[in-house]
Amino acid sequence: MRKIVLASLVAATFLVAGCNTVKGAGEDIRSVGQAGEDAID
């Protein structure tokens, strides 16, 4: 039982960290696209 709880906590930590990383990468890509669009205009 203890191993299952520990494994669940570790998995949840990685999932939360992964979501935040992907969200941050998406925001970075969007800001680069906006900067390129502003430079063209």
Is 5 inside any structural domain? no
User: Could you report the per-residue pLDDT of 15-37, keeping only the tens digit for each?
Assistant: 777 767 777 777 777 887 887 77
Higher pLDDT, residue 14 or 9: 9
Q: How many helices (H) and strands (E) does the chain have?
A: 1, 0
Is 20 inside any structural domain? yes
Domain count along the chain:
1
CA dist list (Å): 1 to 4, 5, 9, 12, 15: 5, 6, 13, 17, 21
pTM flag (> 0.95): no
pLDDT band at 10, cuts 50/70/90?
confident
State residue 27's pLDDT score: 77
Is 35 inside any structural domain? yes
Is 27 inside any structural domain? yes
CA 35 to chain centre: 21
Is 17 inside any structural domain? yes
